[in-house]
Structure 1
Amino acid sequence: MLEEDKIRQLKENLSRAIREKDAKKANKLFVKNCVLFLMAPPLMEKFDEGLEGLNNLENWFLTFENGIGLETKELEITNNSDIAFLSSLEHLTGKRTDGSETDIWFRETLGLQKIKGEWKVTHQHQSFPMHMDGTDKAATNLEP
């Protein structure tokens, strides 16, 4: 299997774990000392002992009534023998337990490292563009 195919498979495995609300499977794709810049606070998270039991992924999953919709568009991969970067647009959908609906597009960048022959996520960055009209509001209503 080509390295780019392995990288695409890791991305699909991560997306599938989120769609299936399986925190254990999702967390196994990250290195122990990963750095996360996610949409939800805090501003940055760094896990020296790994994600298992430390991040709030399971709690976030509980805010969705059923499955989570997650679709990837515009996936770009840059890689060499042991480092890779993925950038994409992500479409997150689902009905929340508070009765609201989530239907947003956001940007994501993943930094990967090949460790003992296996690709792992070392860095995850998710973001929204900001309206630059003085309102300082996230532009959560954009579509590709």
Structure 2
Amino acid sequence: MPDDAAQIRTLVERWAEAVHRGDLDAVIADHAEDIVMYDVPPPHEGLHGLAAYRATWPPFFQWQAQGACFDIETLDVTAGSDVAYAHALLRCGTPEELAEHPTLRLRLTFGLRKERNRWLVSHEHHSFPHD
């Protein structure tokens, strides 16, 4: 059986692939019911709960259908026995956006907890650097 860090790495990679495919059920599959997410667009106080998290994705999928990428470039995982975090940089943008800003990367942080021997994302944070 893979160690905890490897399990989390696989979870994040599967999540990113699901986001890129626009597969909403797979995007939310490993998220806790009480997830808190801070995202790039409002609300700036964050979203609380799986239903609110789920509702944020359809507009993103519509934007992404314009040919945008969502590709992990770096991913680091630190895992304890029952809590963990992961942080990543992703290429996220349309070809035009990335041509105009080739070094721009989406910053992603996950906070995870282990429940019943399963890792769940309980906190998610997305941000872009401010110019």
| Counterpart in the other structure of 2:36 | 35
Q: 1:67 to 1:82 in 2, by over 3 A?
A: farther
C-alpha separation between the residues in 1 aligned to 2:51 and 2:31? 7
Return the index of the structure with the highest Cα Rg: 1
- Larger RCO of the pair (alpha carbons < 8 Å, separation 6+): 2
The 3-state SS of whatever aligns with 2:51 is coil
- When residues 10 and 32 of structure 1 are mapped into structure 2, their CA distance, relative to the original with a 3 A threshold, is same
Q: 1:68 to 1:29 in 2, by over 3 A?
A: farther
1:39-118 residue pairs with structure 2 within 5 A?
Answer: 39-43=40-44, 44-47=46-49, 50-51=50-51, 54-65=54-65, 68-94=68-94, 101-103=96-98, 104-118=104-118
Sequence identity of aligned pairs in percent? 24
Given that 1:14 and 1:26 are in contact with CA atoms closer than 8 Å, whether structure 2 keeps it comes out as: yes
Query: Under a length normalisation based on structure 2, what TM-score does the superposition of the two structures give?
Result: 0.83
Q: TM-score, normalised by structure 1?
A: 0.76
Unaligned runs of 5+ in 1: 96-100, 130-137, 140-144
RMSD (Å) for aligned C-alpha atoms: 2.0
Which moved further from structure 2: 79-88 or 62-71?
62-71
Deviation at residue 19 of structure 1 after TM alignment: 0.9
